[in-house]
Every structure is written in structure tokens, then in C-alpha cells.
Structure 1
């Protein structure tokens, strides 16, 4: 290489042909078809995947993708969509058409907001949003009645999103390493709230604590001083 010659990184990025994409299709033991396009150094979702037969899982993780094309709404049968470790700054509203989606992984991107259409994913039980730049969640997230696992770590939340009070099946919530106001250890009603947000079962609480949590939960659902509380939700 001539001295001082710059390497054009753009030329190193791959463009996948239809034949290459076909070779990435695999059939799992349970019979589900998985299209694995992770670690392909691609900056865009290959348009040729529109020609692929129906598949159940799509893995586009660990690439250089900045935008999800609108044609994603064609894959209405997929139950798992993995987009973690890319450069996404937004999601298309068409993602709300993926009615069969059960798992959505958006960790380690550059998302600053989410479309309200996420609330249309009625079968979603796992949503990973850690390592982004989110400060709030759309109120429609509260409509995800099947949601059990929600990852919100390493974002910019200063308050616990109010919509979480409506997630009655939520079992696991991760809000670690957010700039929650409660991390300064605000003492209120003789209870000290730290930066951690815990989900507990009713059976794990004494009667007095259970009553306090239920009262606070009702207050949050009614919008009364909701921002002041980082109290546990009952599963």
C-alpha cells in the first residue's frame, strides 16, 4: 500500500447476494426457520430477503445498520427479531405490523425514542432496550399485556415510566445504570429508595408492606404523584 493512502472503509462493507442470504437460512430442531445475518458487516438490510420463503426468526445483530426499511412489515410471521448492536436511531412505524412477534431485541443502538406502534405487538413477551439513549417510553407500551421481560438498563431515564404500572404480567425489569432521581437516595414516608427498581411477588411481602405498595401502585395508575415514586410493582 502506498504511504499515506487512506483506506476507504466503505469498500469493506459487504453486499449480500440472494445466494449468500439463502445460505444463512437454517432449520431449528423445533422446525422453525431462522435467517441468521449477524456479523455480516452490512450497513443496510438486504432487499433480497423479501424473496425469501417465510421464516420465523430474523437475526440482524452485530452489523452496521442505521435504518430498518419499511418492507420489514412483510415478515408478519416472524416471532423473533434481533437487531442488537447496530446503529439504529429510530424504528419505522411499520414495525407495528409484526403481530406474531414475541421477542424483540434492540439493545446497544442509538435510539432516542420509540414509535407508539410498538404497543400493537400484542404477543410480545420479551423486549430488550438496554444501552440506548431513551428518556421515556410511549404510553402504548402499557398495552403489551403479555410482556414479561423488559430491559431498560443504560439509558437516560430519570423517572420510572408510568406505563409500567399497566404491565400486569411483568416478571423481570432492569433499570440499572439510569440517572434515576432516586439514586440520590430520597427518603420519603420512612422508606429509602435507591437507584434499583425491584419487581416482587405479593407472597414475599408482609401485610403492612403489601398495603403500602398497593396504595402507591394505585396512586401511580391514577397519576397522583407518580413521578415521586420508585416503589416496587407487584407481579
Structure 2
């Protein structure tokens, strides 16, 4: 039986963790321990060497141990909606990761390690709903990243890091206090809730836009980009029901009794 303590939260045993691993249609093995009231990263996980995916989202975890680097088989890691204030440097050892979701935590720019750039296979990184105001070039892998979530943070301008990402196709910067120059002064950009900052590959622009792409303020270019985006505004891991700000994050942390009972009944 899973043990619960008033101050330490849910404790998951190795036996329970093993039984919770499910084989996906693509052959990957996923361990889901989401929304269980976990406050301390389960140490038993480090004894599992056959996981491809790990979901510890919607818990109360405040710290990721340095030993996270031992989970070398991981390809997919979801830690959204916890209480993380920093990420250990050892995460850079998870070179097989293709997806990392750190959305809806308490991360500051100083809490992100430069070793994130070592994740050479990472294609999707979600840092939305945190307290970030800067993103250094050394923080993200430049050769592999295709999707980047920076929404609901404290950015006042588009980070130069984003401009340097060679194959980035989607970036979400909605609901940041972005500023634009006006008459030599800086003022907060006024835009409706649907506005954000997006990157579009040149293959999706018309010939006219390609000629004036160096003039992003041009009305034709703006309208064309918006039209192309409306055709298929999909952000996969960047906007999901478990990572947007539409629902108060405290609601996500409420214990889901049915989910918990279902987890117990399957072990």
C-alpha cells in the first residue's frame, strides 16, 4: 500500500513504481506518478533502468536531486506544475531527452543550469509559467530545439537566444510584459490575449513576404504570417491542458481522489 504522511506527502515504493510502468504503442515505457501529492523526488525511481518516459507532474516536488543524471534511458521528462525553484546541473547528462516540460514551477533565470545546452537531442522545451526574465545562449541546445515555450514569464523583450536557434519552428511568448520602442522611450506593448511571438519557416511565407522579411513591421508580412499560423496553430507540448494559465495552478495540485484510488487498485 502507498504510504501517506501528513508532512512528507505520498511515498512511492519500488514495487509500486515498477507496477505503474506502462508500455506505449510506440514501444516506449512510461512511468506516470502524476497528481499524487508527492513532495520529495522518489528515490526508488533511480533503481529503474528501463524507463523511457517519466511523468511526475502536478505534485509538490521542490527539488530535483543531482542523481537525476543517472536516468540515462529517459527520452521524455514531465515535471510541470510542481514547486521547483532550480534545476540541477546533472540534468545535462540526460542526453537522450527529446522532450522536457518544466512549465508552471517557480524557476528563475538563475535557477536554470547552462548544462541544458548539453541536451543535444532535445526538440521541445517548455519553460512557461515561471519567473524567467532572461535566457542565456548557453542555456538551451541550439542545434536540435524546434519548440520553445516561454509564455507567462517576465521577459520584456525577445531573448537573443531565440534568434540564434537555427531550426526553431515554434516559440510561444504570450503574456509576457514585452516592451516596444515608441518615440525613443520604452513602453509596454498593448495587444490582445491572442497575440504572441511566433516563428514561421520561410517556406510558409509568400514571395512578397520573403522580399520584405527584414521589415517585420510591414502590415502585409504581419497579415500573411497570421494567416499561415491560423491554418494550423498547434504547439504540441507548448500549450496543453496541463500547462496553460487558463486554470489556476493551485487547482491542478488538488489531490485527485479518483486518480489516486485508481492507482492503488492497479498495484
> Residue in 1 aligned with 2:69?
73
Counterpart CA distance in 2 for 1:73 and 1:119 is 14
Cα distance change, pair 50–206 in 1 and its aligned pair in 2 (3 A): closer
Counterpart CA distance in 2 for 1:18 and 1:146 is 34
Give the gaps of 5 or more residues in structure 1.
1-7, 217-231
Q: After superposition, what is the alpha-carbon deviation per residue over 1:85-104, rounded to whole angstroms, capped at 9, x for unaligned?
A: 00000000000000000000
Cα distance change, pair 193–98 in 1 and its aligned pair in 2 (3 A): same
Detail structure 1 runs of 4+ shifted over 6 Å in the superposition.
Answer: none
SS at match of 1:14: strand
Q: Is the 8 A contact 1:56 1:78 kept in 2?
A: yes
Residues 1-235 of structure 1 aligned to structure 2 (within 5 Å): 9-10=6-7, 13-113=9-109, 114-141=112-139, 143-182=141-180, 186=182, 196-205=196-205, 209-214=209-214
Number of positions where the alignment pairs a residue of Structure 1 with one of Structure 2:
204
Cα distance change, pair 197–171 in 1 and its aligned pair in 2 (3 A): same
Give the gaps of 5 or more residues in structure 2.
217-224, 226-267
Higher relative contact order (CA closer than 8 Å, sequence separation 6+)? 2
Instruction: Tell me the TM-score normalized by structure 2.
Output: 0.69
Q: After superposition, what is the alpha-carbon deviation per residue over 1:142-182, rounded to whole angstroms, capped at 9, x for unaligned?
A: 54311111111000000100011121211111000000003
